[in-house]
Structure 1
Amino acid sequence: MGVIDSTNTEAQRRAKAGHIENCWLVAESQTAGRGRLQRPWLSSSGNLFSSAFFREPGGISIAARLPFATALAVSDMAAIIAPGAPVKLKWPNDARVNQAKLSGILIETGGQGQDFWVVAGIGINIAECPEGTSQATTCIHDLRGDTLISAEDALSVLRETFARRLEQARQSFEPLREDWLKVAEGLGETVRVTVSDSPVEGVFEDMAPDGALILRLPNGERQMIRAGDVSLIGRT
């Protein structure tokens, strides 16, 4: 594809038209890219804008694991094409290096039964670091110190790492959870989680078997958080 509003939006259009297929949708540029909480995803030239679009026979229970699986796929990709880059995952699925965002992920679903579909939107900064964002950004070229890797090269690796993590998600969440925790950003640290505009602070203690963030509150109680925006205290 050339210029498009959003690869995720294109997948949804195809699904609504009854054209559900296992494929990757890739654009050179997006005019209306978006991430979690409907935040805009800036589409700088030379970066990767893609969506994995597929039927998911496991339904919503498997789809719920995919934010974590997809983030791990990005982390795996970065380890291959930018060895040594200390990629960390901020709950639930931001890939960051030294608190600078490398990738944005948006999982969307639809349909029922045999027609249940998933679109895993994955934007990765390859050549450019978008400006004017709410947090610092980084890109593969900066992490590598050269410009030898293109968006097409990154996609080739990502397709392989995503396939492996998708299969892992379909088998069981526990090994996926353990792998995610190994690269979790802020684990054991005090974090602030904004839930419905209300901030909650506590120590990021663990991730539950269903993917919920487990927060240890100042009063010693544990709170499960299943949706929210995380920031590390003293960081961005």
Structure 2
Amino acid sequence: MAFALGSRAIAAGYRLAAFDQVGSTNTEAMARAREGERGSMWFVTSEQTAGKGRRQRAWIAPRGNLASSILEVMDVPPATAATLGFAAGLALESALQKLSLEANMRRASSDPLKFLLKWPNDVLAGRQKLAGILLEAEVVADNRLAVVVGIGTNVVAAPEGTPTPATSLAALGVHVGAEELFTALSDAWVEFRGIWDNGRGFAEIRRLWLARAAGLGEPVAIQTGATTIAGTFDTIDETGCLIVRTAEGKHLPIAAGEVYFGSAASVGAA
């Protein structure tokens, strides 16, 4: 099966560059933007050899996993563009829910699969990481902002030794291919990109994201460099910052950091 856009993505004018193997779909997308490509365009492969995740960690997609990046060129400030990651998480969660229906029918006697969104840009299955999202932005020649949203999903295999234990769709009993997942993702992207509306619809994206948030109301520890902030995950604010409620009742906004929830919060704080 070859990679293909969904019908909704095609109708919305999206285009696709698919690779049998590539170093990094994010790198390919940004290189095209520098050369004058103005999107909206997907870059996708089922084998990525030199990708990266947050904090410059390697993100290698062995054959069968999904590495995908969407290039959007827009007239928004970088701080606004950063909130597009929340729409990306919602799009992937929606596609995963759609494709996991059959697996959930087989799990009728047990808890159904539930996908959660971990701040800032991960998708979890239970407490295990299933996907990661990486945003990169660069001003291009016409003074517009080229935004690349990379979405890497563990379809057939998951890495070991990650800060958050990882899993794959295959391990969860969801037997779909990277190509099928991408088609569903491309259509879901149109929906949530439309709701986000260059940042004007972030209030609705925020509401939808919080309804699917991992660890909301639970103990949380955030490591930022040598500093650890502990408290309760209270909400995210109108800029996408995580709000921690401390034991003293203060509400602290966190813009970036490694997040540990629940029992792991004490590990992160150690």
Which residue of 149, 153, 163 corresponds with 1:134?
Answer: 163
Which residue of 218, 223, 243 corresponds with 1:194?
Answer: 223
Aligned residue for 1:50? 68
Q: Gaps spanning 5+ residues in structure 2: where?
A: 1-18, 102-111, 266-270
Deviations along 1:83-116, one digit per CA (max 9) or x if unpaired, are: 3421111111110012111101001111256632
Deviates more, 1:50-59 or 1:222-231: 50-59
Aligned residue for 1:87? 115
Does the 8 A contact of 2:232 with 2:245 survive in 1? Answer: yes
The whole-number CA distance in structure 2 between the counterparts of 1:43 and 1:77 is 19
Aligned residue for 2:248? 219
Is 1:122–2:151 an aligned residue pair? yes
Which residue of 121, 127, 133 corresponds with 1:105?
Answer: 133
Structure 1 runs (4+) greater than 6 angstroms displaced: none
Taking only aligned residues, the RMSD between alpha carbons, in angstroms, comes to: 1.7
The whole-number CA distance in structure 1 between the counterparts of 2:48 and 2:89 is 21
Aligned residue for 1:31? 49
The whole-number CA distance in structure 1 between the counterparts of 2:158 and 2:23 is 20
Three-state SS of the structure 2 residue aligned to 1:220 is: coil
Instruction: Tell me the CA shift for residue 12 of structure 1.
Output: 1.7
Instruction: Tell me the CA shift for residue 165 of structure 1.
Output: 0.8
Instruction: Tell me the CA shift for residue 61 of structure 1.
Output: 5.0
Aligned residue for 2:192? 165
The one-letter code sitting in structure 2 at the alignment partner of 1:162 is W
Aligned residue for 1:64? 82
Does the 8 A contact of 1:191 with 1:204 survive in 2? Answer: yes
Instruction: Tell me the CA shift for residue 226 of structure 1.
Output: 1.1
Does the 8 A contact of 1:55 with 1:114 survive in 2? Answer: no
Q: Percent identity?
A: 35
The whole-number CA distance in structure 2 between the counterparts of 1:55 and 1:209 is 22
Aligned residue for 2:178? 151
Aligned residue for 2:264? 235
The whole-number CA distance in structure 2 between the counterparts of 1:163 and 1:48 is 18
The whole-number CA distance in structure 1 between the counterparts of 2:37 and 2:131 is 28
Aligned residue for 1:182? 211
The whole-number CA distance in structure 2 between the counterparts of 1:7 and 1:197 is 32
Three-state SS of the structure 1 residue aligned to 2:26 is: helix
Deviations along 1:33-92, one digit per CA (max 9) or x if unpaired, are: 111111111312211011011212344354122111111111111110013421111111
Is 1:8–2:26 an aligned residue pair? yes
Does the 8 A contact of 2:22 with 2:47 survive in 1? Answer: yes
The one-letter code sitting in structure 1 at the alignment partner of 2:203 is E
The one-letter code sitting in structure 2 at the alignment partner of 1:235 is A
The whole-number CA distance in structure 1 between the counterparts of 2:63 and 2:93 is 22
The whole-number CA distance in structure 2 between the counterparts of 1:2 and 1:197 is 41
Q: Gaps spanning 5+ residues in structure 1: where?
A: none
Which residue of 214, 217, 239 corresponds with 1:210?
Answer: 239
Q: TM-score, normalised by structure 1?
A: 0.92
Three-state SS of the structure 2 residue aligned to 1:22 is: strand
Three-state SS of the structure 1 residue aligned to 2:170 is: helix
**Length, aligned pairs only:** 234
Instruction: Tell me the CA shift for residue 232 of structure 1.
Output: 1.1
Q: TM-score, normalised by structure 2?
A: 0.81
Instruction: Tell me the CA shift for residue 16 of structure 1.
Output: 2.1
Three-state SS of the structure 2 residue aligned to 1:205 is: strand
